[in-house]
Amino acid sequence: MRFPWLLLSLGVWALCGSAKPTERKERVVREAPLSTREHDDAQSFDYDHDAFLGADEAKSFDQLTPEESKERLGKIVGKIDEDGDGFVTVEELKAWIKFAQKRWIYEDVERQWKGHDLNEDGLVSWEEYKNATYGYIL
């Protein structure tokens, strides 16, 4: 009678010893990538355009003539040059890229919020969330 218990205990011990812990996942969402496009300057500057202008703005720039594009970029450079010295520093460029990235995130959050706030009261109840996310299944 002791042999089956010993065998069972040995099997459980072997399973526990070979178990792999689950991967720990972050609760905090880190910054999104600057662009969904591959970064290869030798082929295309699409990644840089997305990072610098934001995805939506980069799409509109693709439709412009070279003259219009230069004019609009000149206006943007004026916004990037925070100290107004006529030059864009690395810090100013990094700050602008972060701003463009966050602007896209905030606009997406606003769009998602409007999609879930069905009665447009500025609040999303559990019922509104459930209905917008899962439909009327639940």
Q: What is the pLDDT of residues 65-79, one digit of tens each?
A: 888 878 887 888 888
CA distances from 14 to 9, 22, 45 (A): 9, 18, 54
pLDDT of residue 74: 82
Per-residue pLDDT of the chain (138 residues; tens, 9 = 90+): 677 787 778 777 777 666 666 666 665 555 655 556 565 666 666 666 676 676 777 777 778 788 887 888 788 888 888 888 888 899 998 998 888 888 888 888 898 888 888 888 999 999 888 888 887 654
**Phi-psi sector, 65: left (phi>0), alpha (psi -120 to 50), beta:** beta
